[in-house]
């Protein structure tokens, strides 16, 4: 029951995030009087819908996204009167574009000339299409503010919980026994013990474990004076900091050779301030952007895990099924307290919203970023025309990008299907 409850909590949280994303678009569309005929969460057949005014609201059966339907998303060809549907005769791609224009313009009724999306000012289109990703980014900030400032998080302390017995590279970190001929760690050599508090390192006072970690990593190959507090008394030690292959602190996929001591810190729940929220959001935004750049490579890994013997990358992409399964694992975990479980759910929802918001900013149709790019291009063209006293160029014809749009849509469908399959046959497991 706990597993099902956890899976349901994250599933519903994801659907609510999608609905709020669409609300971001919808609010600006209504503000600028764009006629909006549908507000849907999900795709495919409709599960339930109801009508309020000119808009149909509903939930569809496939919970892989959502949309609002605004009339006039695709403009007529320049020179055509609004509502005109012109037959094309210039080839398959042009026929495709004109067919899509025709379908879009069939929704435009007499009197809608000022209510079509394409006819709005560039900054209004920018706000309408930015509203969805902005809502997700605001939700991410809210969730991480709740996590860091309200609940608090486990923060490592400069107090030793465990001393590693021998030197092993990051690639062998899962070993339970020391390999033959493995050298003892510097911590083992100088007799550090669990419970020791490190109060000074190379002359620098230590109050924060992360500062200590950075100092240790920068002193590989050096013998460094260190002061520890044990049983209420200070002890001075000269520690020969070794060099070892470790995960990069900012990029877990990157292995670097750095200074190594061989200790595991204790941790305590600490509430943090707004600066920590800002720092965390900046760090996570950079990591998410990097993950999006590496998405094609990551999807190869998902394919190999789904149809081969490879393990799923815990830092790789995950679909709605995988997210729900992680939620179930967290809820059913006996290693976590109730507060820790709540913290994980809040963190996961914050991370999901950040990923959804940034993914939608990719400047390709049918994603929001494609329309945002179109609005910005329109602004640039208008500014250029104004500076050089040329005629107003009008709206940017995003319909010309439809061939690329259909290819991108097909890629998204394949990616979504692959993630669902991988999440079913070889899911990412929560192991905390």
pLDDT digits (tens, 9 = 90+) for 345-401: 999 999 999 999 999 999 988 889 999 999 999 999 999 999 998 998 888 888 888
Residue 44 has pLDDT above 50, yes or no: yes
Question: Which has more confidence, 105 or 291?
Answer: 291
Segment 151-161 mean pLDDT: 90
Number of domains in the chain: 1
Residue 207 lies in a domain: yes
| CA dist., res. 327 & res. 9, Å (int) | 7
Residue 217 lies in a domain: yes
- Long-range contacts at 112-117 (CB < 8 A, ≥ 24 apart): 112/35, 112/71, 112/72, 113/82, 114/33, 115/33, 115/34, 115/35, 115/71, 115/72, 116/34, 116/35, 116/71, 116/72, 116/75, 116/82, 117/29, 117/34, 117/70, 117/71, 117/72, 117/73
- φ, ψ of residue 153 in degrees (nearest 5): -130, 160
| CA dist., res. 21 & res. 16, Å (int) | 9
| CA dist., res. 277 & res. 283, Å (int) | 10
pLDDT of amino acid 432: 63
Residues 239, 223 contacting (CB under 8 angstroms): yes
Residue 131 lies in a domain: no
The residues assigned a catalytic role are 22
Segment 137-160 mean pLDDT: 93
Segment 103-120 mean pLDDT: 84
DSSP per-residue letters across 184-248: BPHHHHTT--TTPEEEEETTEE---HHHHHHHHHTTTT-EEEEEEEETTEEEEEEEE-EEEEEE-
pLDDT of amino acid 125: 95
> Mean pLDDT for the chain?
87
CATH number for the domain that contains residue 246 = 2.30.42.10
Buried-exposed string 58-70: b where 16+ CB fall within 10 A, e elsewhere: bebeebbbbbbeb
Query: Which burial class, exposed, middle or buried, applies to 234 when counting CB atoms under 10 A from its CB (0-12, 13-18, 19+)?
Result: exposed
pLDDT of amino acid 4: 85
Residue 5 has pLDDT above 50, yes or no: yes
Residue 88 has pLDDT above 50, yes or no: no
Residue 78 has pLDDT above 90, yes or no: no
pLDDT category, 90, cuts 50, 70, 90? Answer: low
Lowest mean pLDDT among 61-65, 127-131, 187-191, 344-348: 61-65
Tens of pLDDT, residue by residue over 401-428, are 888 888 888 888 888 888 888 888 888 8
Residue 53 lies in a domain: no
Residue 425 lies in a domain: no
Domain boundaries, position 190 = 153-270
pLDDT of amino acid 93: 62
Kindly tell me the sign of the dihedral angle through the C-alpha atoms of 23, 139, 18, 412.
positive
Segment 328-337 mean pLDDT: 84
| CA dist., res. 399 & res. 107, Å (int) | 16
Q: What kind and span of H or E run contains 332? A: helix 320-332
pTM over 0.85: no
Residue 89 has pLDDT above 80, yes or no: no
Residues 21, 129 contacting (CB under 8 angstroms): no
| CA dist., res. 137 & res. 357, Å (int) | 6
pLDDT of amino acid 338: 85
Tens of pLDDT, residue by residue over 186-235, are 999 999 999 999 999 988 999 889 899 999 999 888 999 999 999 889 99
pLDDT of amino acid 127: 96
Segment 280-307 mean pLDDT: 89
Residue 265 has pLDDT above 90, yes or no: yes
Residue 88 lies in a domain: no
DSSP helix/strand/coil, 129: helix
Helix axis angle for 122-145 and 274-293, nearest 10°, is 120
pLDDT of amino acid 357: 94
Residue 213 lies in a domain: yes
Residue 402 lies in a domain: no
Residues 6+ apart with CB under 8 A from 198: 158, 159, 160, 206, 212, 226, 227, 228
């Amino acid at each position: 029951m706990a597993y099902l409850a956890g899976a349901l909590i994250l599933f519903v949280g994801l659907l609510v995030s999608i609905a709020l994303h669409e609300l971001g678009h919808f609010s600006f569309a209504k503000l600028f009087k764009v006629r909006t005929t549908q507000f849907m969460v999900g795709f495919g057949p409709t599960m339930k819908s109801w009508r309020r005014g000119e808009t149909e609201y509903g939930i569809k059966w496939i919970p892989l996204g959502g949309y609002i339907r605004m009339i006039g998303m695709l403009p007529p060809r320049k020179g055509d009167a609004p509502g005109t549907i012109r037959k094309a005769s210039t080839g398959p791609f042009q026929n495709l574009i004109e067919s899509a224009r025709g379908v879009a313009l069939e929704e435009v009724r007499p009197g809608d000339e000022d209510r079509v999306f394409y006819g709005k000012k560039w900054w209004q289109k920018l706000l309408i299409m930015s509203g969805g990703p902005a809502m997700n980014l605001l939700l991410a900030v809210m969730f991480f503010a709740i996590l860091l400032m309200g609940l608090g998080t486990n923060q490592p302390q400069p107090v030793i919980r465990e001393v590693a017995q021998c030197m092993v590279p990051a690639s062998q970190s899962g070993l339970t026994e020391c390999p033959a001929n493995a050298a003892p760690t510097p911590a083992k050599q100088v007799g550090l013990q669990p419970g020791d508090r490190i109060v000074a390192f190379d002359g620098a006072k230590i109050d924060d474990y992360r500062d200590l970690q950075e100092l240790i990593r920068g002193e590989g190959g050096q013998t460094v004076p260190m002061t520890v507090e044990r049983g209420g008394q200070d002890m001075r030690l000269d520690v020969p900091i070794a060099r070892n292959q470790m995960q990069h602190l900012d990029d877990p996929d990157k292995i670097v050779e750095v200074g190594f001591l061989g200790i595991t810190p204790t941790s305590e729940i600490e509430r943090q301030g707004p600066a920590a929220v800002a720092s965390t959001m900046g760090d996570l935004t950079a990591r998410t952007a990097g993950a999006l750049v590496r998405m094609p490579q990551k999807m190869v890994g998902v394919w190999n895990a789904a149809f081969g013997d490879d393990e799923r990358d815990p830092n790789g992409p995950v679909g709605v099924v995988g997210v729900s399964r992680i939620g179930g694992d967290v809820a059913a975990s006996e290693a976590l307290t109730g507060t820790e479980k709540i913290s994980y759910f809040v963190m996961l929802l914050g991370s999901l919203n950040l990923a959804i918001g940034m993914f939608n900013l990719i400047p390709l149709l049918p994603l929001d970023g494609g329309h945002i790019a179109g609005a910005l291009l329109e602004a640039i063209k208008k500014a250029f025309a104004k500076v050089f006293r040329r005629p107003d160029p009008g709206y940017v014809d995003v319909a010309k990008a439809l061939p690329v749009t259909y290819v991108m849509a097909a890629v998204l469908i394949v990616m979504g299907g692959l993630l669902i399959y991988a999440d079913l046959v070889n899911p990412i497991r929560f192991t905390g």
